[in-house]
A and B are shown apart, each in its own frame.
Chain A
Amino acid sequence: MSQKQKQPSTREMKQRLKRAEPYVWMLPSILLMCAMIVVPIITVFRLSMSEISRANRVKGFNGLENFKDVIASPTFWNTLRNTLIWTVAVVGFSTLIGFVLAMVLNQNFRGRKVVRALVIFPWATSLIIQAVIWKYIINADYGALNVLLSKLGLIDHFVNWTATAGAFFAWECWVGIFVTVPFVTFCVLSGLQSIDTTYYEAAAVDGASFWRKLFNITLPLVRPSLTVSTVLNIIYVFNSFPIIWTISKGDPADKTHTLVTYLYKLSFTLGKSGQAAAVSVIGFIILAVCAGIYMMISLRGEEAD
């Protein structure tokens, strides 16, 4: 990579120092993450193989018992399916909407600055607050959405927006999308702005259509930005807790849980911390496999550079 400077005297020592240097640079970061993240992770793995009493006291090693209990529960499988839907729907739609929005914001139009500032709002507001406000908006008996629609004359009876578990979950996905779009938009916008306009000028001379420009110039060039936002979003959305917990707590009948809310309920409402730890380990494994695949692809790509 870089041309190393060579200085005389005790070469051996210098060489050794040189080899240790990168680790010294990373030491603060490593220490911080080990203490705050790695140690807790080890604890969770240990708890997942422990018998834990309802009052949350560790009673001893019990092998894979917790995992067996988790897998035997139909709620777990339903939750796993929900988690998949949740992650794919939220990340997918946010990426799509965010991409379109970024394309629009990259145009020149009056008020562009204002709109760009507005797009930041959902990102800058705490998730808890967003979840609470949306819960209030969609409430069927006195919620703001029903009031608005009936005042506008669009409905004459209040609509029960969350009549079924599926409807509930769809609204939760919507809130997830609402808060995730800004991040995607800004990632894509940064990608768009780094594209050299001469590409488009050349394409215009060739008389290329909008779609051809989109697929041949725009998409390939913003791909790195899209990748960053997608990978991060998958992790964040998969692990997202406040939206679902605030809006439905996994109810009705545990049909709107994702893994994180489910394990929270297992641990703190049902007093089954061992099973909760097992669920978090399962979630970790799922993400780790995805990450492993991504790392293999991206690191290989980097070496090829």
Chain B
Amino acid sequence: MDRRKPWQTVLLYLFVFVVCIVILYPYIVMFSTAAKTDAEMYSANPTIFPIEWQWSNFIDAWKAAPVFKYFLNSIIVAGGATLVAILCGIPAAYAMARMRFKGKGFFLGAVIMSQMFSPVVLLVGIYNVMTTMHLTNSLLGLVLLNAAFNQAFAIWLLRGTFLSISSEMEQAAKIDGCGTVQALLRVLLPVSAPGIVTALIFVFINAWNEYTIALSLISDDLLKPITVGINVFYGYNFIQWQYLFATSLFATIPVIILFLCIEKHLVAGLTAGGVKG
């Protein structure tokens, strides 16, 4: 790369600084509000940071609702959905990347089409299906739904990854006596790791953030994921901003940690998937 002039460096840092402030601002607000007292929230002399940091809000939020249980449910749903989506997505993407068959174009189109309805739109239909399958009020139902609604992205990304990898190695493995399954497992998958990791993350985040389906399917308080669970603090009758924000921070942290762990793979995976997207 070419060397930067001093004014460019200044500009660069200024830009980065502004971006950081803008991104962090809502989180700072969330954090400082979570530690305010009720009176200070609506005070006639509002403050940026609380005069008196009420740390107990963070603990009280956990007591006011089964936040830990919500948390666990979210992990089960997001984790389960990710697993199912990837496990169904890998063979499908493999077939679409490596095999020739009738209706491939149609299937690819159908996969994209399936994403064109948001779950909100399909709510009544989804509820019908889940009732017939006795999956209302069950985490398994949420796992399957989230997996299904993220299939398209998983397949698309994985197919792109597979296409970007030459099939020569698999051919060689097959000549050595491997079956198709073994060739996929031993040769293709290890090389596609970045793409798979990316798909994992995408599905995980989407499932972690899903709200509408869980809202209408889950009626048992102890089965609610955190996105729905925090509604306890955001009812129509009242808003407990402090608890809401405290819990929201808790809900955000694991996803951010996950992201940080995986960031390197994420970029690499998108590179592979993107090329042939």
Residues of B within 8 Å of A189, CB to CB, are 267, 270
Residues of A within 8 Å of B238, CB to CB, are none
> Which residue from A28, A107, A118 sits with its C-beta under 8 Å from B24?
A118
Q: Is the CB of A44 within 8 A of B125?
A: yes
Residue B64 is within 8 A (CB to CB) of chain A in the complex:
no
Residues of A within 8 Å of B255, CB to CB, are 124-125
Partner-A contacts on B (CB < 8 A) = 1-2, 4, 9, 12-13, 15-16, 19-20, 22-27, 29-30, 33, 41-43, 46-48, 84, 87-89, 91-92, 94-96, 98-101, 104-105, 107-109, 111-118, 120-126, 128-129, 133, 144-145, 147-149, 151-153, 155, 160, 167, 171, 174-175, 180, 205, 208-209, 211-212, 226-227, 230, 234, 241, 244-245, 248, 251-252, 255-256, 258-260, 263, 266-271, 273-277
Q: Is the CB of B108 within 8 A of A295?
A: yes
Bound-state Cα–Cα, A194 to B42, Å: 51
Bound-state Cα–Cα, A79 to B205, Å: 29
Bound-state Cα–Cα, A189 to B118, Å: 28
| Contacting residues of chain A (120-178) with chain B, CB-CB under 8 angstroms | 120-130, 132-134, 136-137, 142, 144, 146-148, 151, 178
Residues of B within 8 Å of A26, CB to CB, are 91-92, 95-96, 107
- Chain B's nearest CB lies how many Å from the CB of A136? 7
Q: Is the CB of B209 within 8 A of A25?
A: no
Residues of A within 8 Å of B126, CB to CB, are 36, 40
Q: Is the CB of B23 within 8 A of A260?
A: no
Q: Is the CB of A127 within 8 A of B121?
A: no
Q: List 20 A-B contacts (CB under 8 A).
A: A3-B171, A37-B122, A37-B148, A41-B125, A107-B1, A109-B16, A115-B16, A117-B259, A124-B256, A124-B259, A126-B226, A137-B25, A137-B29, A190-B271, A193-B267, A224-B274, A241-B120, A260-B118, A264-B120, A299-B105
Closest to B253 in A: A124
Mask, A15-41, CB within 8 Å of B = 1, is 000010111011011101101111111
Contact of A120 with B16 at beta-carbon distance under 8 Å, contacts A23-B101, A142-B46 already known: no
Bound-state Cα–Cα, A40 to B245, Å: 35
Q: Is the CB of B245 within 8 A of A39?
A: no
Residue A111 is within 8 A (CB to CB) of chain B in the complex:
yes
Bound-state Cα–Cα, A118 to B252, Å: 13
> Which residue from B133, B151, B209 sits with its C-beta under 8 Å from A127?
B209
- Chain A's nearest CB lies how many Å from the CB of B35? 13
Residues of A within 8 Å of B144, CB to CB, are 32, 35-36
Residues of A within 8 Å of B153, CB to CB, are 232
Contact of A133 with B12 at beta-carbon distance under 8 Å, contacts A142-B46, A224-B275 already known: no
Q: Is the CB of B101 within 8 A of A130?
A: no
Contact of A133 with B29 at beta-carbon distance under 8 Å, contacts A25-B91, A190-B269 already known: yes
Q: Is the CB of A22 within 8 A of B95?
A: yes
Interface of A is mostly: helix
Residues of B within 8 Å of A299, CB to CB, are 105, 108
Mask, A232-247, CB within 8 Å of B = 1, is 1001000111100000
| Contacting residues of chain A (266-305) with chain B, CB-CB under 8 angstroms | 267, 273, 277, 280, 283-284, 287-288, 291-292, 295, 299, 302
Contact of A121 with B266 at beta-carbon distance under 8 Å, contacts A40-B129, A224-B276 already known: no
Bound-state Cα–Cα, A189 to B114, Å: 28
Residue A62 is within 8 A (CB to CB) of chain B in the complex:
no
Residue A93 is within 8 A (CB to CB) of chain B in the complex:
no
Closest to A58 in B: B124
Give the top 4 A-B pairs by smallest Cβ distance, nearest first: A40-B125, A43-B125, A239-B118, A36-B148
> Which residue from B46, B115, B124, B259 sits with its C-beta under 8 Å from A147?
B46
> Which residue from A35, A190, A232 sits with its C-beta under 8 Å from B268?
A190
Q: Is the CB of B113 within 8 A of A291?
A: yes
Closest to A147 in B: B46
Contact of A126 with B41 at beta-carbon distance under 8 Å, contacts A38-B114, A43-B128, A133-B248 already known: no
Q: Is the CB of A241 within 8 A of B16?
A: no
Residues of B within 8 Å of A32, CB to CB, are 84, 88, 144, 147-148, 151
Mask, A96-128, CB within 8 Å of B = 1, is 000001001001110100011111111111111
Residues of B within 8 Å of A35, CB to CB, are 129, 133, 144, 148
Q: Is the CB of B116 within 8 A of A28?
A: no
Residues of A within 8 Å of B209, CB to CB, are 126-128
Residue A1 is within 8 A (CB to CB) of chain B in the complex:
yes
Q: Is the CB of B241 within 8 A of A136?
A: yes
Bound-state Cα–Cα, A111 to B115, Å: 38
Q: Is the CB of A129 within 8 A of B29?
A: no
Residues of A within 8 Å of B212, CB to CB, are 241-242
Q: Is the CB of A29 within 8 A of B124?
A: no
Bound-state Cα–Cα, A129 to B122, Å: 23
Q: Is the CB of A136 within 8 A of B92?
A: no
Residues of B within 8 Å of A92, CB to CB, are none
Q: Is the CB of B256 within 8 A of A2?
A: no
- Chain B's nearest CB lies how many Å from the CB of A35? 6
Q: Is the CB of A121 within 8 A of B105?
A: no
Q: Is the CB of A118 within 8 A of B117?
A: no
Q: Is the CB of A33 within 8 A of B151?
A: yes
